[in-house]
Chain A
Amino acid sequence: MRRLFDDELNDIDANFTEMGMMVSATIEKAVKAFIDHDRELAQEIIDNDAKINEREVELEQKSFEMIALYQPVTSDLREIVTILKAVSELERMADYARNIAHATIRVKGHVRVPEIEAQLSEMGNRVRKMVEEMLAAYVKSDDAAARAVAAKDAKVGEMFDKINEKGISKMERHPETVIGSTDYLNVASYLMRIGALVTNVGEWIVYLNTGNIIELNPESSNLV
């Protein structure tokens, strides 16, 4: 039997995925702008953040409306709850991308460390790819894929440690890089937090399919 609820669920689902792509593109741009010292692109990201926040509010309102009007149960309820929870994770990812954009604007003119920038670029690409893969797992409601993506977060943690180590040793040896390197460390920690938020989305995909609330990476759950 075709239900009105299904049509609305499809809409909200599509909007959620669309917002996810927006966030993924924002992260990509944020890393690129930081590496390229592109202040214009960084400003664009900052200006665009309000739009992502609006998306979040729209999706939340629509979810509340559907809960009130249709009183969904079982898998219907889990779909709405998943969107409601995961949309906040997406919005926070975009906030971290915005923080990276702010760092881009600040870092201009400071002494640069190409080595660390290369590592940040690699870390950024990895995180963005995780975002995309997690969205694909959501679209397919594939909790096995969600678990696989979350498992990639350990590597992100390692990358963070390396950048951290290198940044600090750089600061010790070359005090003129202190201001710039502090932002490198900030950007690395923003990327790491995005990785943890991707894991959270994965946890909601597992909930969507199984009804169980679990932690995919218990050791990193205190990062966000």
Chain B
Amino acid sequence: MSTILTTENLSLYYGKKQALKGVNMSFDEKGITALIGPSGCGKSTFLRCLNRMNDLIPNVTITGEVNFNQSNIYAPTMDTVKLRKEIGMVFQQPNPFPFSIYENVVYGLRLAGVRDKEQLDAAVEKSLKQAAIWDEVKDRLHVNALSLSGGQQQRVCIARVLAVEPDIILLDEATSALDPISSHTIEMTLLNLRHDYTIITVTHNMQQASRISDRTAFFLNGELIEVNDTKQIFMNPVKQETNDYISGRFG
């Protein structure tokens, strides 16, 4: 398997407060990596660094490198719009745009200048199928996406990310606002997508991490404490802090 993304000595400061402390991590193509850790440990901050979402926050300083397919995404020549197409993100709260399901899914393609109706139709069907929501919405593609349930909205958001054919999908607690059944549907969706995409997910739900991820990384106080196969992390972690956190001794 080849490496698709690496971070080298990645640090981030909110003003003077250091939120990430020299994180070195690498991600192979395909599969799911879960980032876990208590609130404020830096896992979401780390995730947001991977497609430069932190650029939007004032007073943030980032040092170190994030190399996507061997090029540093923080290089001045990097086109962030293109970057976020290749490294898409799904957020905690489903955030469909206030227009139709169809228009939500093709949004990124229209932005990229695709006009061909057949091409757009095909992308909508493919993406909604991949996001496991096609059967539920195929007869009402032109209703407002906001009329869907939370779980359905989230899957439309996943379809919206998939439509632009990214290499990497980042999920920031994408199921924590959903009920268990919707969460389960999203988990099943991710388990199918993991064969074709590199998925990195931040979750507070430890059982979810153990159920769906191939690898788990534990963060604490801005540091990457341990990363390993999920089975190893949940059965026999190397570091005491990892053991204490995932068995609920703190956090």
Contacts and interface: CB of A to CB of B under 8 A. Distances in A.
Interface of A: 1, 3, 5, 71-78, 210-211
Contacts of B206: 73
Nearest to A71: B207
B2 interface: no
Contacts, number: 29
B247 A76 contact: yes
B235 interface: yes
Interface in B47-70: none
B77 interface: no
B247 A75 contact: yes
A73 B232 CA distance: 11
Interface of B: 206-207, 210, 234-237, 243, 246-250
B237 A74 contact: yes
9 contacts: A3-B249, A73-B206, A73-B247, A74-B234, A74-B235, A75-B243, A75-B247, A211-B235, A211-B236
A72 B237 CA distance: 14
B48 to A, nearest CB: 28
Nearest to A210: B236
Contacts of A76: 247
B210 A73 contact: yes
B205 to A, nearest CB: 12
A189 B246 CA distance: 45
Given A1-B249, A5-B248, A74 B207 contact: no
A74 B234 CA distance: 6
Contacts of A5: 248
A78 B236 CA distance: 9
B236 A74 contact: yes
B114 to A, nearest CB: 46
A211 B228 CA distance: 16
Nearest to B246: A73
A171 to B, nearest CB: 52
Contacts of A78: 235
B234 A73 contact: yes
B203 to A, nearest CB: 15
B247 to A, nearest CB: 5
Nearest to A70: B248
B248 A74 contact: no
Contacts of A1: 248-250
Contact of A77 (B235, B248, B249, B250): B235
A10 B105 CA distance: 54
Contacts of B243: 74-75
Given A5-B248, A211-B236, 10 more contacts: A1-B248, A1-B249, A3-B249, A73-B206, A73-B210, A73-B235, A73-B246, A73-B247, A74-B236, A76-B247
